[in-house]
């Protein structure tokens, strides 16, 4: 059995939720505080970036993400951003407000985040995570009737 990829291991790690908008402001401040830090911004489902974003690009991306979240998630709370540390983040999951799935935790296969900001180079998450067995069975059943 091969060792789990570090990016996937971090993805499955412990995260703190950003519940309020002022907490999101503070998180973004931490992300942008050190212009020399390397942040990869990965739009899950797209090709993972091979290089980190420069300071100017990161600032623009954070602003665009913040605008999108506040516009599309029209609530008085945030609750769709999670970080490995709110004070010293190195891995942040941002969920797409239009693809939240079940938020109560009862779903065995929660939706993937829309975006991940991390200090480590990302991998292709949809390819790295196994498809649920019930979905596989559904496809197998569908294709057995088509042929």
Question: How do the domains of the chain map onto residue ranges?
Answer: 6-146
Take residue 54 and report the two structure tokens written for it.
Answer: 């420069």
Q: How many helices (H) and strands (E) does the chain have?
A: 5, 5
pLDDT digits (tens, 9 = 90+) for 4-49: 899 999 999 999 999 889 999 999 999 999 878 899 999 999 999 9
8 Å CB contact between 11 and 31: no
pLDDT digits (tens, 9 = 90+) for 51-90: 999 999 999 999 999 998 988 777 666 778 999 999 999 9
Q: Can you give the pTM of this predicted structure?
A: 0.81
Determine the Cα–Cα distance for residues 42 and 14; give it in Å rounded to an integer.
Answer: 19
8 Å CB contact between 43 and 126: no
Question: Coil, strand, or helix at residue 141?
Answer: helix
């Amino acid at each position: 059995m091969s060792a789990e990829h570090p990016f996937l291991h971090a993805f499955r790690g412990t995260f703190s939720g950003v519940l309020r908008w002022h907490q999101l402001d503070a998180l973004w401040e931490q992300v942008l505080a050190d212009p020399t830090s390397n942040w990869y911004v990965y739009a899950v489902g797209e090709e993972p970036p091979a290089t980190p974003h420069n300071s100017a690009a990161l600032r623009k991306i954070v602003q665009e993400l913040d605008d999108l979240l506040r516009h599309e998630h029209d609530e008085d709370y945030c609750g769709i951003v999670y970080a490995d540390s709110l004070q010293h983040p190195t891995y942040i999951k941002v969920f797409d407000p239009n693809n939240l799935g079940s938020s109560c935790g009862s779903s065995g296969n929660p939706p993937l985040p829309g975006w991940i900001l991390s200090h480590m180079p990302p991998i292709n998450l949809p390819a790295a995570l196994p498809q649920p067995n019930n979905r596989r069975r559904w496809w197998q059943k569908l294709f057995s009737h088509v042929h």
